[in-house]
Amino acid sequence: MTIRLHDTRAQELRDFVPLDPSNVTMYVCGPTVQSGPHIGHVRAALSFDLLRRWLQRRYERVTFVRNVTDIDDKVLANATAAEPWWALAYRMEQEFSAAYAAVGILPPSYEPRATASIPQMQELIAALIERGHAYPAADGSGDVYFDVRSWSGYGDLTHQSVDAMEAAEDADPRGKRSPQDFALWKGAKPEEPADATWDSPWGAGRPGWHIECSAMARRYLGPDFDIHGGGLDLRFPHHENELAQSTAAGDGFARYWVHNGLVTVDGQKMSKSLGNFTLAADVLARHDPLVVRYALAAAHYRSSLDLSDSSWTEAEAALGRIRNFLERARIAADRNAARRSADAASSADEVQYIPLIPEAFARAMDDDLGVPQALAVLHDRVRRGNQALDDGDDATAERALLEVRAMTEVLGIDPLSPEWQATGSDTKTSAALDALVHAMITQRAQARADKDWPAADRIRDAIGAAGITLEDTPDGTHWSIDG
C-alpha cells in the first residue's frame, strides 16, 4: 500500500508517508465568510473530503482541520449598520456549512474561527520579530510586516524570486521596507469598527489573513503536520506566505502541499471578484444534491472543471445506472438469503463474501486520488453485476453488490445510503408513488397472465405517459423516473 500525492512544492508525485501512521493530519484552508458559497467553493471542499475519506480507509484515523476566516478586509467591507461584521460572518458560515452538508461533505475534526486564535497569532508574530523576520512599522501605525528578503526560503512553494513578485496589496504600504513585504498585524483605522480590533504589543489592530492559518494550523496540529490543502488560487500569495512565516518561526509546517483545480466559466476562474460565479444554493435548488456531488467529484481533483447542463445530465444518468443495479441486486440477494435460510442443508455450501474494495479501484485512488479511474472500475462492476443477474449467476451478482456498495461508500455516492434518502413530506410522497406504481405493475402482470395484451399495453402506456420507465427482468419488474 503506497499512496502517491502530487506535492505542489516538489512539483511532482511523492509517496505519502505520514508522520504518524495511526493519525494522518490535514489542514485545509476554509472559507472567508464575507458572502455565501459558490459552486467552486463546494468543489474545493469536496476534493479534500474525498482525500480524507480515502486516507481514513487506508489509515483509519485522520485529524482534519478546516478553518473559518471570520475577520478580514472583505468581511468588514460587506458589513452594514444593520448587520455588523461578526453577524454577517456567522450567517455566511452557516450557509457554507449547509452547502457542504447538502453534498455529503463530512464535518471537520476541528473547525476553528480565526477570531478564537488571536493570542496564538500574536505569539507567532512576536517570535518572527525576535528572529529578525518581521518588524513593526516605524511610523507608529501599529502595522507589523513580514520581511520577505530576510528569509531565503521565500518563494519555495511557487518557485518564484522575490524580484519577480508583485507588491503585496494586503495592507497599507505606509511602513513597508519592501513592496513585497506582507502584513502580519494591521493597525486599527478610525473608519473600521472598534469591536474589530484587539490589543497587542504593537498597538490595537487585527491580524493579517496569512498569519491566521499559520497560527491555527500550529495550534490544532502542532508545528509539523502531514498535508496542507486548498484551491489552486491560494498558492500565491496565501500559501507562499504561510509557508514562509511558519518556517521562519522555526516550525516544520506542512510536509505535503495539495491543491485542487478550479471551477471555470468559459475558461476563466469562477470567482466573486469577476462576477461569474454560480451560487451553491442555486445549483442545489435545481439539482439533486447527490447528482451535484457526483458531477463535482467525477473530474480529477487537480483538473479544471467547466460545468454545463450536460454535467448534471451525465451525473444523473450515471447514478441512475448505479441505483438500478443496487436495487435489482438487493432484491436478488434478499431472495437468495431467504432461500438459503430455508434450506439448512445448503448452508454448509454457502459462499462467504467479504466486502473488499476491488484492487483496481484501490490502485486508482492510491495514484493521486484518481477518482475518474476509480469510477470506471465502479461502473465496470455495475455492468458485470447486471449481466450476472440476467444470467442467473447469483454468486457473481452478490459479489458485485458488495463491491459496488463498498466503492460508493468510499466516494460518498451510495444512492441507498440513508443520508441520500428523502425526508419529511418527500418520504411520504415517494412511498405513495411507489405503492401506486407497484399496484399498476401488479395489474399489468395479471393482464399478461390472462393474455389480455391490450390491457397490459394500456397500463404500460399510462405509466410511461407519467414519465416512468419499466424494466422487465428475471427478478421482476422495476421502475424508475425518466431523467
Rounded distance, CA 54 to CA 318, Å?
A: 21
Query: Which helix (H) or strand (E) is 461 found in, with range?
Result: helix 453-465
Measuring CA to CA, which residue among 16, 87, 94, 108 is closest to residue 58? 16
DSSP-assigned letter for residue 162: G
- Residue 146 and residue 185: Cα distance in Å, rounded? 9
Q: What is the pLDDT of residue 336?
A: 76
Tens of pLDDT, residue by residue, the chain (483 residues)? 799 999 999 999 999 999 999 999 999 999 999 999 999 999 999 999 999 999 999 998 999 999 999 999 999 999 999 999 999 999 999 999 999 999 999 999 999 999 999 999 999 999 999 999 999 998 888 999 999 999 999 999 999 999 889 899 887 777 899 999 999 999 999 999 999 999 999 999 999 999 999 999 999 999 999 999 999 999 999 999 999 999 999 999 999 999 999 998 766 677 766 666 789 999 999 999 999 999 999 999 999 999 888 999 999 999 999 999 999 998 888 887 777 666 654 443 444 455 589 999 999 999 999 999 999 999 999 999 999 999 999 889 999 999 999 999 999 999 999 889 754 434 445 545 665 676 678 778 777 877 888 878 888 887 887 778 877 765 567 677 765
Residue 360: exposure state from Cβ atoms within 10 A (0-12, 13-18, ≥19): middle
* Residue 424, pLDDT score: 40
Distance of CA 232 to the CA centre of its chain: 14
Confidence (pLDDT) at 251: 98
Q: What pLDDT is attached to residue 348?
A: 39
Is-contact 175 147, C-beta < 8 A?
Answer: no
The fold of the 311-420 domain, in CATH, is Four Helix Bundle (Hemerythrin (Met), subunit A) (1.20.120)
Fill in the amino acid letter for 250. G
Q: What integer pLDDT is reported at residue 425 of this predicted model?
A: 39
Q: What confidence score (pLDDT) does residue 228 get?
A: 98
Using only C-alpha atoms, the chain has a radius of gyration, in whole angstroms, of 27
Going by C-alpha positions, the residue among 306, 309, 312, 323 that lies closest to residue 289 is 312
Q: Is 403 exposed, middle or buried (0-12, 13-18, 19+ CB in 10 A)?
A: buried
Q: Which pTM does this prediction carry?
A: 0.84
CA–CA dist 14, 12 (Å, integer): 6
CA dist 163 → 155, 249, 360, 416 (Å)? 10, 23, 47, 56
At residue 267, the pLDDT reads 66
Domain 4-307 falls under CATH 3.40.50.620: yes
Boundaries of every domain in the chain: 4-307, 311-420, 425-481
3-state helix, strand, coil in the chain (%, to 5): 50, 15, 35
Query: 244-263 burial, b if ≥16 CB within 10 A, otherwise e?
Result: bbbbbbebebbbbbbbbbbb
**Which residue do the cell numbers 484518481 mark?**
370
Q: Where are the alpha helices (DSSP H) in 265-393?
A: 280-286, 289-297, 309-342, 359-366, 371-391
pLDDT at 430: 54
DSSP string, 205-238: EEE-HHHHHHHHHHHHH-SEEEEEEEEGGGIIII
pLDDT score for 452: 82
CB 358 within 8 A of CB 378: no
Reading across the β-sheet that carries 253-260, which strands appear in turn?
Answer: 62-66, 24-28, 224-231, 253-260
- 168, 186, 199 from 189: Cα distances, Å: 19, 9, 13
Q: Give the per-residue pLDDT at 419.
A: 87
Name the strands in the sheet holding 305-306, side by side, starting at the edge strand that comes first in the sequence. 268-269, 263-265, 305-306
